[in-house]
Amino acid sequence: MDLRDDLATATLETLPITVAVLDAEGKILLTNQSWREFNPEDGDHVGVDYVATAEMVEDDDEHARQAVEGLESVLDGNRESFELEYPCHTPDEKRWFLMRAFRFTVDDDPRVSVVHLEITDRKLAEIDAESAAERLREEQRMLEHVLERVDGLVQDVTDAAVGAASRDEIERRVCRRLAETDPYVLSWVGRVDVTTRRVSPREWAGRDDVPLEDDELVLSSDETHPAVQALDEGQPRVVQDVTAFDHADRWWPTGAGELFQSVAAIPLEYGDVTYGVLVLFAEEVDAFDQRELLVLESLAGTVATAMNAIEARRMLTTETVVELEAAIEDSSLFVTALANRIGATVTYRGLTYDRDGTALTVFYVNETGGVADVADDLEGVEDASVLSEYEEGTLLELALSDGIVAALADHGGVIQRFDATPEDRVGDLVLQLPNGQSARSVYDLLEERYDRAELISYHESDRPTRTLRDVAAELDSKLTDRQEMALRKSFYADYFEWPRGVSGEELAESMDVSRSTFHQHLRAAQRKLLEELFAVDPTSEG
């Protein structure tokens, strides 16, 4: 045996795979160390008919039958190679192997090499991948089922909410549409009485045999009912199986589980304003999974938005107005914090919004020099900039994370006065609101947010048939966002005074536009304002 043969033999012995060489009859001529170590009790298998051994288990093993057919085909010269993946499990573990057979000749005598590679790691990875793929396919099937079931529901509820003329009509139409959708059997919308804090169903629809709650629902007194939990926490709450719910007997009569199986409550919220709660009963257990809740939350948002629009419209058309004055004492209130830090009076001037919808509040501070830097360091101030600086004061534009000014606007409130002096350490707020309910809602908001909120005065009064608010509402439908911003910034910054408090270049820079673009927005806004004031139809001739 020459060096080449020695090298080949040594290499074969050290390979980390099992190798055997067969003669033309299928008998084993040679095995390597890995082969012998795989089943050491059986020896080296030299002289054993490998094909016959495989045939012994052929009747019981489909993989053995395929191995025999493949090996015989290679031994007969019908094919040059063959491979087969097969399991080789033990009671302790699962294992898989890949067998490969290759035909070759030595001195014109046919030979076949048989190699076995362990592929357990690869097979386990493939099994995991297939399991994950099946889970994804199941998720896709479930999602398609949900989308098919709610097909048209979203559009119908949106149409019902947007097309309604009153809040009562929204609640009535939405409840009816939801009750018509499987698997829901009852739907009701509840409102909170501001004085008693009780939650009461105002509108409901569904099967007559499904009862409404027997007991009173009172906020913060008993948080076991999902509607109370949803309102207290501002998050959807679900009972997936009423028969396993500890407090079911208190809220629903005995045997209710035969009429419905699960309950969901979703708060109706628009910004900081809560208009009530939507409660749904379903005849199936676990009816409200994450996909279902996403759809219902979207619907609840649409309903609340429509309610807010109706409340705002009602304020524009009502003949009476409620004026509320409150004193707020809290170190976190921006106007008092800034007044105390600077030692000067802080007065509210107005509210506008930037292109991203961020509320920008304008305040006049009876002080000059470094006022914006002081404001920027206060908690709750995201950004502070100077719109204009005078000899005795500074006009600030502030983006506030506190959001109290925008929250008051969402409640339908119009700020008449909002100021603070360093001596009093109290913020004085005067608001106009469309009705008593809005006033109570705003006062609740102030009590929840601040350490102390004291009601100073409250009275209702008639207002003229056409007010500046009517004009503002009409203008709001005509002005673009940029035109309104240019007009508001110019007014708040005393651009229309003489001498001007700020230049057009400065205002353009604050809006991140060119000077010519700013003046285009401003001129267009001024034209629309004058058209509204003088009732001029811009499309008329002459």
DSSP one-letter code for 259: T
Which region among 294-308, 411-425, 470-484 has the lowest average model confidence (pLDDT)?
A: 470-484
Q: How is residue 8 written in tokens? A: 């080949």
Q: In whole angstroms, give the CA distance from residue 280 to residue 324.
A: 37
Say which residue, 450 or 248, is predicted with more confidence: 450
**440 and 469 in one domain?**
no
Q: Would you say residue 406 has pLDDT above 90?
A: no
**174 and 78 in one domain?**
no
Cβ pair 160, 177 in contact under 8 A: yes
Say which residue, 252 or 413, is predicted with more confidence: 413
Our measurement of the distance from residue 201's CA atom to the centroid of its chain's CA atoms, rounded to an integer in Å, reads: 28
Q: In whole angstroms, give the CA distance from residue 434 to residue 460.
A: 9
Please give the pLDDT value at position 237.
92
Alpha-carbon separation of residue 21 from 49, 83, 108, 485 (angstroms): 11, 15, 15, 87
Beta bridge partners of 385: 397
**384 and 336 in one domain?**
yes
**418 and 269 in one domain?**
no
**22 and 98 in one domain?**
yes
Our measurement of the distance from residue 101's CA atom to the centroid of its chain's CA atoms, rounded to an integer in Å, reads: 57
Alpha-carbon separation of residue 10 from 5, 20, 30, 409, 518 (angstroms): 9, 14, 13, 87, 86
Please give the pLDDT value at position 435.
72
pLDDT per residue as tens digits for the range 12-59 = 787 888 888 988 888 888 888 888 887 777 667 788 888 887 777 655
Q: In whole angstroms, give the CA distance from residue 88 to residue 54.
A: 14
pLDDT per residue as tens digits for the range 89-139 = 877 888 888 889 999 988 888 999 899 888 888 888 888 888 888 877 776
**440 and 388 in one domain?**
yes
| Helix/strand number for the chain, H first, E second | 18, 19
| Interior/surface letters 444-479, b for 16+ CB within 10 angstroms, e for the rest | bbbeebbeebeeeeeeeeeeeeeeebeeebebeebb
The vertex-310 CA angle with 306 and 312, nearest 5°, equals 115
Q: Which of 411, 446, 463 is the last residue of a domain?
A: 463
DSSP secondary structure, 310-333, as one string: HHHHHHHH-SEEEEEEEEEE-TT-
Place of tokens 């033999």: 9
**326 and 300 in one domain?**
no
Q: Which of 463, 487, 513 is the last residue of a domain?
A: 463
Query: What CATH number did the domain enclosing 111 receive?
Result: 3.30.450.20
C-alpha gyration radius of the chain = 39
Beta bridge partners of 83: 100
Q: Would you say residue 220 has pLDDT above 80?
A: no
Structural domain includes residue 228 = yes
Q: Would you say residue 461 has pLDDT above 50?
A: yes
**366 and 277 in one domain?**
no
- The whole-number average pLDDT for the span 292-296 is 84
Cβ pair 287, 261 in contact under 8 A: yes
Please give the pLDDT value at position 102.
92
Place of tokens 């830090």: 341
Q: In whole angstroms, give the CA distance from residue 17 to residue 38.
A: 10
**343 and 299 in one domain?**
no
Strand order in the sheet with 28-31: 28-31, 18-22, 109-118, 96-106, 81-87
Q: In whole angstroms, give the CA distance from residue 112 to residue 79.
A: 11
Q: Which of 440, 463, 486 is the last residue of a domain?
A: 463
Q: Which of 359, 364, 451 is nearest to 400 (CA)?
A: 359
- The whole-number average pLDDT for the span 294-312 is 84
Q: Would you say residue 535 has pLDDT above 60?
A: no
Please give the pLDDT value at position 542.
34
Query: What CATH number did the domain enclosing 536 receive?
Result: 1.10.10
Structural domain includes residue 502 = yes
Please give the pLDDT value at position 196.
67
Confidence of residue 222 (pLDDT cuts 50, 70, 90): low
Structural domain includes residue 134 = no
Structural domain includes residue 130 = no
Q: Domains in the chain: how many in total?
A: 4
Query: What CATH number did the domain enclosing 157 receive?
Result: 3.30.450.40
Cβ pair 393, 434 in contact under 8 A: no
Q: Would you say residue 402 has pLDDT above 80?
A: no
Confidence of residue 428 (pLDDT cuts 50, 70, 90): very high
Q: How is residue 215 written in tokens? A: 């007991």
Structural domain includes residue 513 = yes
Please give the pLDDT value at position 203.
86
Please give the pLDDT value at position 205.
87
pLDDT per residue as tens digits for the range 61-96 = 788 888 888 888 888 889 999 998 888 887 788 888
Q: Which residues contact 261 (CB under 8 A, 6 or more apart)?
A: 241, 242, 243, 282, 283, 284, 285, 287
Structural domain includes residue 137 = no
Cβ pair 343, 367 in contact under 8 A: yes
Structural domain includes residue 96 = yes
- 285: containing domain: 150-316
Q: Would you say residue 540 has pLDDT above 60?
A: no
Mean pLDDT of the chain: 81
Confidence of residue 279 (pLDDT cuts 50, 70, 90): very high
Q: Which amino acid is at 38?
A: F
**470 and 459 in one domain?**
no
What HEC string does 9-63 produce? HHHHHHCCCEEEEECCCCEEEEECHHHHHHCHHHCCCCCCEHHHHHHCCCCCCHH
**307 and 410 in one domain?**
no
Q: How is residue 366 written in tokens? A: 């009876």
pLDDT per residue as tens digits for the range 331-370 = 888 889 889 988 899 999 888 877 777 788 889 999 888 8
DSSP secondary structure, 104-172, as one string: EEETTEEEEEEEEEE-HHHHHHHHHHHHHHHHHHHHHHHHHHHHHHTTTHHHHHHHHHHH-SSHHHHHH
Q: Which amino acid is at 460?
A: E
**498 and 409 in one domain?**
no
Q: How is residue 41 written in tokens? A: 């009790």
